[in-house]
């Protein structure tokens, strides 16, 4: 197939694009061109990227002014086409949209496609707070927060409100892997959390540390997108969770990393208000955003309809991410 990947140099695309190339697909990547793909040191990734057609385009700017100033699309002819036309002119059999966040973006893209299979990247945040767990794709959605509400609305649009483009929606959890910091055992991105765990196994957690996190390796999210593309009859019109098959409590996550770095876990707990004062409002807000949902989602549907099972356990995923961060100086 000819497959166009929008935003293909980020977390998911960095694993998806080489996988598609190795499977024999012709791949065009549309991105802002601001960074190289992650994980170029993985076997075969650098060579696969050499076979990818690259189109440089700032999506938001292009959508706003309806021109793209694109680089690399049909030579000098890339200019003066709107974003949807740019995508359509790659003549795709299927499109993967990894960077759609608003209904205006979705409507604009849909108006320029004509029957191609569209795989849209959503988020488990579309579900809202967990009630009965594991949460399945049939669970009624009660999203909150701007991001979760927007992702739920996008799923409704692609699967229920228009029929011009047969679509599949993939809902990742906390995407993790080598190349960027993952959500840490305190439920935020404070680099000091991992520094203390590496140094002496200490970790300060809110309440009793029983909030849940459900990471997923970026390679598994990419593999599910890939599987949906290659099984369109089973995937069209469906939404699929993309998470590890289990979740970790904050305290279990902290213990796991302390032991990985060679320490006996030394955890401390504070009531929420005291903990918030200790870590600061920014870190506490991000933690609250995660533990207020305490996600634990099911992967049964992807297994039953697509034969897909994640290859990375949650333990292996968070250890790899933490070790990468340790090896690269707590980059953020």
| CA atoms of 208 and 169, how far apart (whole Å) | 35
How many CA atoms within 13 Å lie on the side-chain side of 124? 27
pLDDT, one tens digit per residue, over 261-286 is: 999 999 999 999 999 999 999 999 99
CB 26 within 8 A of CB 1: yes
Tell me the whole-structure pTM to 2 decimals. 0.92
Strands 212-213 and 248-249: antiparallel
Residue 331: which pLDDT band, with cuts at 50, 70 and 90? low
Name the E strands within the chain: 2-6, 26-31, 53-56, 94-97, 117-121, 167-172, 174-176, 202-206, 212-213, 215-217, 239-242, 248-249, 266-270
pLDDT, one tens digit per residue, over 166-204 is: 999 999 999 999 989 999 999 999 999 999 999 999 999
- Can you tell me whether residue 104 is helix, strand or coil? helix
Q: What is the DSSP letter of 158?
A: I
Placement of tokens 């699309």 in the chain: 73
Placement of tokens 């996190």 in the chain: 213
Q: Is 141 exposed, middle or buried (0-12, 13-18, 19+ CB in 10 A)?
A: middle
Domain 2-177+214-246+299-306 listed as CATH 3.40.50.1980: no
CB contact set of 36 (below 8 Å; sequence gap of 6+): 9
209-226 mean pLDDT: 97
Query: What integer best gives the mean pLDDT of the chain?
Result: 92
- Of the candidates 234, 243, 87, the residue with the CA atom closest to the CA atom of residue 168: 234
Looking at the chain, the whole-number percentage of residues with pLDDT higher than 70 is 93
The 10 Å Cβ neighbour count of residue 262 is 8
Structure tokens at 298: 């099911």
CB 254 within 8 A of CB 188: no
- H/E stretch holding 147: helix 146-156
Looking at the chain, the whole-number percentage of residues with pLDDT higher than 90 is 82
| CA atoms of 29 and 17, how far apart (whole Å) | 8
Which residue ranges make up each domain of the chain? 2-177+214-246+299-306, 191-212+247-293+314-327
| CA atoms of 291 and 296, how far apart (whole Å) | 11
| CA atoms of 98 and 13, how far apart (whole Å) | 8
pLDDT, one tens digit per residue, over 46-88 is: 899 999 999 988 888 787 765 444 544 433 334 446 899 999 9
């Amino acid at each position: 197939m000819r497959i166009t990947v929008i935003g293909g140099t980020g977390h998911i695309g960095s694993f998806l694009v080489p996988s598609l190339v190795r499977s024999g697909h012709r791949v065009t990547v549309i991105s802002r061109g601001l960074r190289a793909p992650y994980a170029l040191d993985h076997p075969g990734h650098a060579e696969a990227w050499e076979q990818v057609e690259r189109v440089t385009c700032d999506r938001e700017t292009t959508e706003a002014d309806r021109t793209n100033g694109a680089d690399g699309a049909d030579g000098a002819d890339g200019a003066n086409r709107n974003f949807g036309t740019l995508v359509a002119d790659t003549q795709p059999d299927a499109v993967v949209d990894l960077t759609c966040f608003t209904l205006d973006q979705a409507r604009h893209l849909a108006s320029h496609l004509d029957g191609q299979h569209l795989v849209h990247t959503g988020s488990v945040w579309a579900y809202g707070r967990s009630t009965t767990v594991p949460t399945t794709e049939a669970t009624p959605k009660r999203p909150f927060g701007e991001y979760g509400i927007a992702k739920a609305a996008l799923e409704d649009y692609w699967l229920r409100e228009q029929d011009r483009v047969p679509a599949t929606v993939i809902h990742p959890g906390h995407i993790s892997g080598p190349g960027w910091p993952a959500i840490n055992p305190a439920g935020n991105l404070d680099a000091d959390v991992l520094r203390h765990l590496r140094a002496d196994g200490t970790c300060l957690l809110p309440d009793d540390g029983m909030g849940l996190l459900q990471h997923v390796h970026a390679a598994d999210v990419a593999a599910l997108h890939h599987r949906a593309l290659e099984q369109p009859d089973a995937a069209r019109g469906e939404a699929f969770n993309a998470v590890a098959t289990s979740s970790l409590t904050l305290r279990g996550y902290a213990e796991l990393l302390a032991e990985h770095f060679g320490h006996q876990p030394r955890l401390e707990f504070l009531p929420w208000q005291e903990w918030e004062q200790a870590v600061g409002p920014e870190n506490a807000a991000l933690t609250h955003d995660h533990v207020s949902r305490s996600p634990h989602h099911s992967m049964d549907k992807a297994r039953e309809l697509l034969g897909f099972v994640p290859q990375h356990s949650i333990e292996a995923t968070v250890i790899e991410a933490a070790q990468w961060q340790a090896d690269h100086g707590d980059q953020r």
